[in-house]
Amino acid sequence: MYDVLIIGAGPIGLACGIEAEKKGLQYLILDKGTLVNSLFHYPMNMTFFSTSDKLEIGEIPFISHNAKPTRSEALEYYRRVAAHWNLKLHLYEEITTLHKTTEGFNLKSSKGEYASRNLIVATGFYDRPFLLGIPGENLPKVKHYYSEPHPYFGMNLVVVGAANSAVDVALETYRKGAKSVTMIIREKEIGENVKYWARPDILNRIQEGSIKAFFESEIEQITTDEVHFKNPEGKQRIKNDFVLAMTGYEPNFEMLEQLGVSFHADEYKTPVYDPNTMESNVEGVYLAGVVCGGYKTNKWFIENSRVHAPSIVNAISKKDSSPKEH
């Protein structure tokens, strides 16, 4: 039986593995994708908001050649961290069932079965896009992920959203030869939290007409060659070849619910946990990273949730070393 199973091989899951390694715990990190799977699926030319030192884990320096590190630098860094610490990883192994037992937890995956006294859920959120919930969203022209601008050269694009991802996509596709770029935005303006160097750029492109933007607009239907939406001016439709829906992502609530984790009655469906130990209302289930914020996916980042790892592993170590009642 393992002392702890860590679900998710993102930066915070790796940080938890490092702390478990330091404490000499029997642990295993499982992920249904590759190492730092979410980062791998970020746009190829993405630049982080933070400086590289704030992304460091495991006392391994992260040296970037730029003021802000890039996706490729981050992938190389976390590969180096995993190799340096010789972390126990099972990648491309999806969890199918989880249930609590008298001694801890049983976990079945696509490749095996495991028992553990404790679980750390560090699943992030990037693999589960928020869906618009409208007719036509399942058409091949609708993309919830964006990698690079090349496929959209000479195309008429609709970009949905007004946060960092949408702004980055609109600017990059416009500069790399898209025939037209139109943003459809539910809010009254571009998000205030957009990266400080990108926000004036997108505002200037909109003002000069290089990129068109419809604010206070809501998409009602997507067809093979059009997008239908409504705004204060009435119902509208525009021709397009692709819809890039940068509408955000959500945590894996099903896994938490399966484990019996409770949620606060707030608008973000914030899971219940002790902020000192990160233990949920279910004994032995700990939460780490982005998943702690529920739908508020802009609350926790690598930078401010790295501290979850030592808090959790220290709590597990103290619990497992304390005298047991008979």
Condensed to tens digits (0 to 9), the pLDDT of residues 249-268 reads: 877 788 899 999 999 999 88
The predicted model scores a pTM of 0.86
Total domain count, the chain:
2
pLDDT band at 128 (very low <50, low <70, confident <90, very high): confident
**The pLDDT value given to residue 326:** 37
Boundary (domain end) residue, out of 184, 211, 245: 245
Query: In the predicted model, is pLDDT for residue 325 greater than 50?
Result: no
Residue positions counted in the chain: 326
Question: Which of the pair, 77 or 304, is modelled with greater confidence?
Answer: 77
Q: Are residues 168 and 303 in the same domain?
A: no
Which range has the worst mean pLDDT, 53-67, 216-230, 247-261, 265-279?
247-261
Question: Does residue 203 form part of some domain?
Answer: yes
Q: Are residues 192 and 288 in the same domain?
A: no
Q: State the average pLDDT over residues 158-180.
A: 95
**The pLDDT value given to residue 19:** 98
The DSSP code for 269 is -
**The pLDDT value given to residue 322:** 56
143: β partners: 244
Query: In the predicted model, is pLDDT for residue 323 greater than 70?
Result: no
**The pLDDT value given to residue 133:** 93
Question: Does residue 53 form part of some domain?
Answer: yes
Distance CA(278)–CA(181), nearest Å, equals 43
pLDDT band at 238 (very low <50, low <70, confident <90, very high): very high
DSSP 78-105: HHHHHHHTT--EE-S--EEEEEE-SSSE
Q: State the average pLDDT over residues 41-70.
A: 91
Q: State the average pLDDT over residues 170-194.
A: 95
Question: How many CB atoms lie under 10 A from the CB of residue 233?
Answer: 9
pLDDT band at 49 (very low <50, low <70, confident <90, very high): confident
Which range has the worst mean pLDDT, 88-102, 120-134, 191-205?
120-134
**The pLDDT value given to residue 296:** 83
Query: 253 in helix, strand or coil?
Result: helix
Question: Does residue 133 form part of some domain?
Answer: no
Query: 255 in helix, strand or coil?
Result: helix
Boundary (domain end) residue, out of 229, 245, 261: 245
Mean pLDDT of the chain: 93
Question: Does residue 134 form part of some domain?
Answer: no
- Domain hosting 74: range is 2-128+249-321
Question: Does residue 272 form part of some domain?
Answer: yes
Return the percentage of the chain with pLDDT > 90, whole number: 78
- 116 φ, ψ (degrees, to nearest 5): -150, 150
Cα dihedral 287/276/17/113 (nearest 10):
-40
Question: Does residue 54 form part of some domain?
Answer: yes
Question: Which of the pair, 43 or 242, is modelled with greater confidence?
Answer: 242
What's the CATH code of the domain at 153?
3.50.50.60
Which tokens is 122 given? 């560090």
Q: Are residues 109 and 52 in the same domain?
A: yes
The answer to whether the beta carbons of residues 48 and 69 sit under 8 Å apart is yes
Condensed to tens digits (0 to 9), the pLDDT of residues 24-37 reads: 999 999 999 999 99
